[in-house]
Structure 1
Amino acid sequence: MKTFTYEKAATPEAAVKDIDTIGAKFIAGGTNLLDLMKLQVETPDKLVDISRLDLAKIEEREDGGLTIGALVPNSDLAADARVVEKYEVLSRALLAGASGQLRNKASTGGNLLQRTRCYYFYDTAAACNKREPGSGCSAIGGFNRILAVLGTSEHCIATHPSDMAVAMRALDATIVTLKADGDRRRISIHDFYRLPGDTPQIETVLEAGELITHIELPAPPKGKQAYRKVRDRASYAFALVSVAAIVDVQDGVIASASLAFGGLGPMPWRNPAVEAALVGKAPTDEAFEAAATALLADAKGYGSNDFKIPLARRTLIATLRTVTGA
């Protein structure tokens, strides 16, 4: 591991001031960052420890929603009675996401910022545009079983690994940040992540030194919620395909639908065309097939991951049957 300096921040304002060099990183739980540092994938010159900041509360909002501190541990968020009762899809996604030990340590803000688990990103001897821009993408033409089939580019086909972020996108979360100049901003999760394009190393719209302080959830959505995750083994495995679904059926017709997907793209994936194919329709296999067709219209496999396309179709249809009672 490369030598680095270390500072403990006393306040969020102090934390963003302490990020005064290009090679500096915030650290909270460190469940992803420390692994990357050991492998020399991440080589920060400085770590600013934010783990002791007063950002570990879950508070009710006047609109009926919740404000979640960025340092709330994943285990606390999953077990919170308000989350279990009103945001079941989020609780289930968190429980599916990691072992109990990791959930106890991992923070909510850090979960949003996980780096891809692409094999070639972790292998410093392999070409990876995300790790070293301009070096190439070994995953294209390589072993890409767990990688993306939507939103890819000729420069990168990595997937985003978070389960929690998939549920957050289905719930229309908002990310609250503190910028290095002291200004605050609120970013819809729909605008937070970036497609790889020709700059796969830039994964979010966060500016240098910008700190996530809170995540806001709107009032609980109407309808039934479910999170389905398909993976290679029953525990501690990243999604091949996952679906976060919130569907409200009224008088035999789908009144509203919110669907987000993991394991398919470089970000938690959501496509309004999928939901449009369902709203106003009776919950039938015909409507579910139309939604799956809309989801996968632009899907592209790269060899080892071709199976994800039919798997995503089956997983979506099975999830829709569950949440609609069809």
Structure 2
Amino acid sequence: MRPFKFTNTSNASSAINLLIKNPNAKFLAGGTNLLDLMKEDVERPDELIDLGRLDLTAVRPLVTGNNVVGISIGGLGKNTDAANHPLIRKDYPLLTKAILAGASAQIRNMATNGGNLLQRTRCSYFYDIAMPCNKRLPGTGCSAMQGINRMHAIFGWSDSCIAVYPSDMAVALSALNASVKVMQPSGTARIIAIHDFHRLPGNHPEKDNNLDHGELITAIEIPKNKFAANSAYIKVRDRNSYAFALVSVAAGLELAGGKIISASIAMGGVAHKPWRATHAENILRGKMATVENFQMAADAEMEDARPLAHNKFKIGMGKKTIVYALEQAFKGTGYKA
């Protein structure tokens, strides 16, 4: 690990001002991803600005006027605390399931909610500084394109990058239509829809998201939904714990009897960002919740997949995982408060 300066601060404005002064500085929250990248010499900040003293951890109802319209989750709250919070377990069990499917208990105890959204790809070529990687060093090439690409994208990739985004939490947040609240250097808030927060690689795979330098995630906001009792998060991986998804699916169904009023589906392990399964959602709207309709929706969603040399299996796996997630959501496997 290269030498760096460690700076403490006690408020958000001070943290932002410190970051703006140094283009090579990084915010440090839980550090569960950033410190690993620094040890591997992938990330090379010369200053870390510690956010540990900032009071941005609360989970509270999101209120407009006299009405509760959702929930706000502090950007510096721990993943474990978010997953186990009574309001989240009761009204947003999909988020609880996704968080608990990620990493290990020890990492969840350290990792922050905002930091979870900012974690970088686990592509082995990105981590290996001896290999060309456009995400790590733009213009050098994508080693995974002609390399071992079993774990890589089947949607939304470009000739510059085929890496996938690793967060489980963000996949659930996509299905929940969440927004990310950030503080700008001016001190004003900016709200970014989760669908616009992360980026597809295009010609700039080094840019994982649409945050500007100096912006700080203060909260994640989730609107009310009508599928708390009918949601599921299914993660398919090589081993049962501490492994990233080959394919994951977050699914929620708003039902009237056996009829689907609306469906909300997002996928992980298949793209550079959480992949919203809009084709499947559109097909299911207004139809009966049957296995046949689930299969029809899954087939339609996977039609646009562009597999690589070693990950063609993800098409069949994706179809089966979508169907299984929808079946589990229909059965009503939500957490009970």
User: TM-score higher than 0.5 here?
Assistant: yes
Of 75, 99, 102, the residue aligned with 1:97 is 102
| 1:109-149 Cα deviation digits (max 9, x unpaired) | 00001100000000000111000000000001111111111
| 1:146-200 Cα deviation digits (max 9, x unpaired) | 1111110011010000000000111111101011232221111011111100100
Letter in 2 for 1:65: G
Counterpart CA distance in 2 for 1:206 and 1:212 is: 9
Counterpart CA distance in 2 for 1:309 and 1:119 is: 22
**How many residue pairs end up in the alignment?**
326
Partner of 2:129: 124
User: Shift of residue 285 of structure 1?
Assistant: 2.8
Partner of 1:52: 53
Question: 1:181 and 2:218 equivalent?
Answer: no
Structure 2 counterparts to residues 138-177 of structure 1, below 5 A? 138-177=143-182
Letter in 2 for 1:310: G
Percent of paired sites with the same residue? 48
Counterpart CA distance in 1 for 2:13 and 2:226 is: 34
Partner of 1:76: 81
177-186 or 75-84: bigger deviation: 177-186
| 1:15-47 Cα deviation digits (max 9, x unpaired) | 100101111100000000000000110000111
Q: Secondary structure at the match of 1:30?
A: coil
Counterpart CA distance in 2 for 1:80 and 1:182 is: 29
Counterpart CA distance in 2 for 1:74 and 1:248 is: 26
Letter in 1 for 2:328: T
User: Shift of residue 218 of structure 1?
Assistant: 0.8
Counterpart CA distance in 1 for 2:86 and 2:93 is: 10
| 1:264-308 Cα deviation digits (max 9, x unpaired) | 111011032220010111122332122112221221111221111
Partner of 1:265: 271
Question: 1:230 and 2:236 equivalent?
Answer: yes
Partner of 2:114: 109
Counterpart CA distance in 2 for 1:300 and 1:30 is: 34
Moved over 4 A (4+): none
Whether the aligned pair in 2 keeps the contact of 1:141 and 1:302 (CA below 8 Å) is no
Partner of 2:335: none
Structure 2 counterparts to residues 189-208 of structure 1, below 5 A? 189-208=194-213
Counterpart CA distance in 2 for 1:40 and 1:323 is: 42
Letter in 2 for 1:244: A
Counterpart CA distance in 2 for 1:216 and 1:95 is: 19
| 1:214-244 Cα deviation digits (max 9, x unpaired) | 1111124335011110000010100011110
Partner of 2:42: 41
Question: 1:135 and 2:140 equivalent?
Answer: yes
Whether the aligned pair in 1 keeps the contact of 2:249 and 2:265 (CA below 8 Å) is yes
Counterpart CA distance in 2 for 1:256 and 1:111 is: 28
Letter in 1 for 2:58: K
TM-score using structure 2 length? 0.94
Whether the aligned pair in 2 keeps the contact of 1:243 and 1:262 (CA below 8 Å) is yes
Counterpart CA distance in 2 for 1:221 and 1:215 is: 19
Q: Secondary structure at the match of 2:159?
A: coil
Q: Secondary structure at the match of 2:196?
A: helix
| 1:52-98 Cα deviation digits (max 9, x unpaired) | 10001111122241111101100111111111111111001011101
User: Shift of residue 9 of structure 1?
Assistant: 1.6
Of 314, 323, 326, the residue aligned with 2:329 is 323
User: Shift of residue 4 of structure 1?
Assistant: 1.2
Counterpart CA distance in 1 for 2:217 and 2:300 is: 33
Partner of 1:252: 258
Gaps of 5+ in 2: 333-337
289-298 or 20-29: bigger deviation: 289-298
Whether the aligned pair in 1 keeps the contact of 2:78 and 2:113 (CA below 8 Å) is yes
Counterpart CA distance in 2 for 1:277 and 1:220 is: 20
Letter in 1 for 2:313: F
Gaps of 5+ in 1: none
Question: 1:243 and 2:244 equivalent?
Answer: no
Counterpart CA distance in 2 for 1:272 and 1:313 is: 14
Partner of 1:8: 8
Whether the aligned pair in 2 keeps the contact of 1:283 and 1:324 (CA below 8 Å) is yes
Partner of 1:295: 301
Of 295, 312, 318, the residue aligned with 1:306 is 312
Letter in 2 for 1:188: A
Q: Secondary structure at the match of 1:84?
A: helix
Aligned CA-pair RMSD: 1.3
User: Shift of residue 322 of structure 1?
Assistant: 1.8
